[in-house]
Amino acid sequence: MSLTDRFLRYVGVDTQSDHTSDTVPSTPGQCELAQILKQELAELGIEHTCGNGVVYAHLPATGPGRGEPVGFLAHMDTAEELTGRNVRPRIIPSYDGGIIRLNDTVSMAPSEFPALSQVIGDDLIVTDGTTLLGGDDKAGVAAIMQALDEIRQEDHRELYAAFTTDEEIGRGADHFDLEQFPAAWAWTVDGDAVNQVYWETFNAACADLTVHGVAIHPGEAKGKMVNAVQIAADIAAAFPGDETPAETEGRQGFWHLTELAGTVEEAHATWIIRDHDTEKFEERKAFVQDLVSRFETKHPGCLDLRIHDQYLNMARFAPVTQNGEPEAVREAREAVAAQGLKPESVPVRGGTDGAMLSAKGLFTPNLGTGSWNHHGRYEFASVQKMETMKNIVKTLMKGRDN
């Protein structure tokens, strides 16, 4: 099976996660894809197990002296922003750099999506404009699976692989069993450009606000009504308008209102809080707490705010080395360079399972996938770049030459 065939097979399964679900994993589609991966691993003769929906694989080293045991991870779920049901991928051979028409009303062009300029001449896999594609992170799943398939016939170090669930809703590492994954370090394959080696992430938290109101007929509301949805909207409007995702870049942090809904009687609002700098991250959380407290003085007993950390900057947990660069980063940069590419490390404006695993003691930088524009209908993947990513993974799997 080719890498492209694997990828197309995987995106055909709806694995969208659901933050409102209490099950593990949160949706049955993730279990369906896990079964497919288990079947493929069995056909390859690769030892594997499954727990809480996570698929673990192990391949013993072909001999001594090839380096520390290492691991590779990718997540099976897709984002909540847009459906992953009935994905209808289309392959565009030898992309010419022009406008891509996804359907009669939806198009994308390099002027709007600059990543397209990186894949001129490549064969692209795009959506029909009604769903996301699932390159995040089924391109990563496919790259690891294809690399495992091919590396079986070559010399390699001891290898572990894991395909996780519910990464998109921040639960990817919650049920991860490190005892089944005794790697010295690992890499997630969950980025975009294949020359990137990411080992600095946001610090991340989530703020959930519930407002309790009092509903009464508007004609009799004077001095009695407490409009919960209006209060929630007023609080949302009090955040700095220039510190949102749409107004920030690089190392700039933000608050992001992801949900605002309700009625006069009850309303809910959710923000995600992000910053690379730990001190500024704490200040952002304190700002939310102080803001809600000010509104609480006007509406005592009506506001319920809960703030919880989701993950911390991976760089805080990087192993200390003499040259300042962790071994996992050095190896990854060398593997990228071996493909004739210039490795780059930039702060990730997001997070991965690796951020949470790093906090648990398994340092896990992130690599690219060869797919871009994640979480929406403009998502696309390059067949050639995915192949390059597979080759980078294989280089890391081989380890040192004896």
| Annotated binding-site residue? 325 | no
Residues 54 and 72: their CA atoms lie apart, in Å, by: 13
167 is annotated as an active-site residue: yes
Check: CB of residue 144 under 8 Å from CB of residue 397.
no
Catalytic one of 14, 40, 77, 200:
77
Residues 392 and 402: their CA atoms lie apart, in Å, by: 19
* DSSP secondary structure letter of residue 318: P
Q: Which of 382, 374, 388, 389 is closest to 134 using CA atoms?
A: 374
Check: CB of residue 170 under 8 Å from CB of residue 350.
no
| Annotated binding-site residue? 375 | yes
- Alpha-helical regions (H) of 238-326: 278-298
Residues 138 and 7: their CA atoms lie apart, in Å, by: 6
**CA-based end-to-end distance of the chain:** 30
Q: Residue 143 belongs to what H/E stretch?
A: helix 135-151
265 is annotated as an active-site residue: no
Residues 15 and 166: their CA atoms lie apart, in Å, by: 9
Question: Quick one: tokens of 93?
Answer: 């051979």
Residues 121 and 384: their CA atoms lie apart, in Å, by: 9
Instruction: Please state the three-class secondary structure of 298-350 as a single string.
Output: HCCCCEEEEEEEEECCHHHHCCCCCCCCCHHHHHHHHHHHCCCCCCECCCCCC
The residue written with tokens 């060398």 in the block is 334
Q: Which of 152, 147, 158, 148 is closest to 63 using CA atoms?
A: 158
From the CA atom positions of the chain, what is the Rg in Å?
Answer: 23
| Annotated binding-site residue? 136 | yes
Catalytic one of 14, 166, 167, 331:
167
Strands 100-101 and 107-108: antiparallel
Dihedral of the alpha carbons of 116, 118, 121, 125, in degrees to the nearest 10:
-50
* DSSP secondary structure letter of residue 334: H
| Annotated binding-site residue? 190 | yes
Burial class (CB in 10 A: 0-12, 13-18, 19+), 179: exposed
For residue 261, give the amino acid letter: A
Rounded to whole angstroms, what are the CA distances from 398 to 55, 58, 280, 343, 354? 22, 14, 41, 19, 21
Residues annotated within a binding site: 75, 136, 168, 190, 375
List the catalytic residues: 77, 167
Residues annotated within a binding site for Zn(2+): 75, 136, 168, 190, 375
